[in-house]
Amino acid sequence: MITQVVMPMLGWTMKEGTIVTWLKKEGEKVEKGEPLLEVETGKIVKDIESPGTGILRKILIPEESTVPVSEVLAIIAEPKEDISTLQNTLEKAKVILETPQVASVEKMESMMTKKTTVKVKISPVAKKLAEKHDIDFNRITGTGPNGRIVRKDILAAIEMTKVMPRVREVIPLVGIRKTTADRLSFSYRTAVHVTVTMVMDMSEMVKLRKKLLPEIEKKKHIRMTYTDMLVKAVAKTLEEYPIVNSTLKDEEIKILEDINIGVAVDTKAGLIVPVIREANTKSLIDIALTTKELVEKARSGNLALDEITGGTFTITNLGMFGVDQGAPIINPPEIGILGVGRIAQKPVVVDGKIVIRPMMNITLSFDHRVIDGALAARFLKTMKQKIESPSDLFENN
């Protein structure tokens, strides 16, 4: 029996997936339910089980390729079974989809990358020349007989690339990088970003953290971070400003009941935003515990899809790298994101005197389509009050 292996839908929002690894080789025997390949989507990697038993006869989609959900990835069949018809149909469809159509500027750039997909007619000397100069001849239209790419075409391409910087390395835009690129460029194109910054006096927070740290460390063996405290602060502020805890999608502003705070985490694989659910109802210790667990999972690549979806508002903290202030891009479909800077000792005027205080900039990027500047300012003001007199906020830890 012929079984087609397709790109599975691993979550409701999944549109496409990237093949990370084929765990079986062509010609190898596979059992139904046995892990067959690893698929990455929306920043998580999952083992996919074989949908049938037989021989993995043909892998149609190679590793590192991104394809839409339900695209056929491979064919499993009996050893002698004829799969040529199916294979031909699938491969033809693939060639049509992948035939390059590029405009001139893109052409210049893409010619400098190298990836073979479709069989191209090219003369031996042209091919050698292209390889020597790192020209992707797949993107060149040949002017030779029957459209063959000839030396002249490569020489012209080399001329074109002379104005371009030399390429050291080409990294395919796949997986997390691709997700990040897609989501953030969508956000930047659609959300009307406005940024407001407010300086916060962190004296009380610093004092409070100093007081709580040993206690929490002793009880839970974790080191509570300023980010944990800010998650709580922003979650509580959001309770007072429901409109900021909303999404804008398809001409609808949806004010959300749950306050789920995403925390941007830098991992080797890229930016991941695990979500702390109902952060407003969690104690500081719970937030710290959850955050710690999620960050560890994010860094080891073990997050489940539901741990990175469903966020309603995001915090990104670059203070630990010495950043004073940044204007973050909104994580869609959310409408606000908080950028946190470092805590720095600064001279400030208090009661007519210059004193040294630990100060921190908090920046709110918001979608002006949903909220206005005054509201954003009030939101920050409330947050400032909470941060500068934090004892209420963390009454029960």
Partner 1 sequence: MSEKTINVSDAIHDALVEEMRRDPSVVIVGESIQRATSFGITRGLLTEFGYNRVWDTPIAENAIAGLALGAALTGLRPVPIIMIGDFIPYAMEIICNEIAKYRYMFGGNFKVPITIRVGAQGAGAGLAAQHSQCLEAWFIHVPGLKVVYASTPYDAKGLLKASIRDDNPVLFFEHKFLGSITGTIPTEDYTVPIGVADVKREGEDVTIVAWAFMMHKALNAATELEKEGISVEVIDPRTLYPLDKETILQSVKKTGRLIIAEEAPKTGGIGAEISAMVNEEGFDSLDAPIMRVAAPHTPIPYSAALEKLWIPNVKDIINAAKKIVT
Please state, in angstroms and rounded to a whole number, the distance separating the CA atoms of residues 46 and 29: 21
DSSP 139-171: GPPP-SGGG-B-HHHHHHHHHHHTTSPPPS---
At residue 208, the 3 state secondary structure works out as: helix
Q: Specify whether the backbone of 270 is left (phi greater than 0), alpha (psi in -120 to 50) or beta.
A: left
| Residue of 120, 113, 197 whose CA lies nearest to 157 | 113
Please state, in angstroms and rounded to a whole number, the distance separating the CA atoms of residues 49 and 44: 16
Q: Is 299 exposed, middle or buried (CB count within 10 Å of its CB: 0-12, 13-18, 19+)?
A: middle
> Cβ closer to partner 1: 115 or 128?
128
Sole window of 117-125, 185-193, 218-226, 252-260 interacting with partner 1 (rule: CB under 8 A): 117-125
Query: In the bound complex, what is the minimum distance in angstroms from residue 140's beta carbon to partner 1?
Result: 14
128 lies in the binding site for partner 1 (CB under 8 A)? yes
Alpha helices in 24-103 (DSSP H): 84-98
Please state, in angstroms and rounded to a whole number, the distance separating the CA atoms of residues 159 and 380: 54
148 lies in the binding site for partner 1 (CB under 8 A)? yes
Which member of 150, 194, 206, 269 binds partner 1 (CB under 8 A)? 150
Query: In the bound complex, what is the minimum distance in angstroms from residue 149's beta carbon to partner 1?
Result: 10
- Other CB atoms within a 10 A radius of the CB of residue 194 amount to 16
Sole window of 3-11, 14-22, 141-149, 236-244 interacting with partner 1 (rule: CB under 8 A): 141-149
> Cβ closer to partner 1: 122 or 380?
122
> Cβ closer to partner 1: 151 or 299?
151
DSSP 179: H
158 lies in the binding site for partner 1 (CB under 8 A)? no
121 lies in the binding site for partner 1 (CB under 8 A)? no
Which member of 124, 165, 214, 352 binds partner 1 (CB under 8 A)? 124
Q: Is 372 a catalytic residue?
A: yes
The whole-angstrom distance between residue 4's C-alpha and the CA centroid of its chain comes to 30
Neighbour-count burial for 114-150, b at 16+ CB within 10 Å, e otherwise: eeeeeebebbeebbebbeeeebbbbbbebeeeeeebb
# of chain residues touching partner 1 (CB under 8 A): 12
123 lies in the binding site for partner 1 (CB under 8 A)? yes
Q: What are phi and psi of 127, to 5 degrees?
A: -65, -45
Query: In the bound complex, what is the minimum distance in angstroms from residue 150's beta carbon to partner 1?
Result: 5
CB 265 within 8 A of CB 298: yes
Query: In the bound complex, what is the minimum distance in angstroms from residue 120's beta carbon to partner 1?
Result: 15
Residue with tokens 């005197």: 353
> Cβ closer to partner 1: 145 or 347?
145
Query: In the bound complex, what is the minimum distance in angstroms from residue 115's beta carbon to partner 1?
Result: 22
Sole window of 59-67, 118-126, 161-169, 250-258 interacting with partner 1 (rule: CB under 8 A): 118-126
CB 71 within 8 A of CB 65: no
Query: In the bound complex, what is the minimum distance in angstroms from residue 146's beta carbon to partner 1?
Result: 10
Q: What are phi and psi of 194, to 5 degrees?
A: -130, 145
Which member of 95, 97, 118, 125 binds partner 1 (CB under 8 A)? 125
Q: Is 221 a catalytic residue?
A: no
Query: In the bound complex, what is the minimum distance in angstroms from residue 135's beta carbon to partner 1?
Result: 15
Sole window of 101-109, 140-148, 229-237, 283-291 interacting with partner 1 (rule: CB under 8 A): 140-148
141 lies in the binding site for partner 1 (CB under 8 A)? no
299 lies in the binding site for partner 1 (CB under 8 A)? no
181 lies in the binding site for partner 1 (CB under 8 A)? no
Q: Which of 133, 324, 372, 392 is catalytic?
A: 372
Residues that bind partner 1 (CB under 8 A): 123-126, 128, 143-145, 148, 150-152
Which residues are part of the catalytic machinery?
A: 368, 372
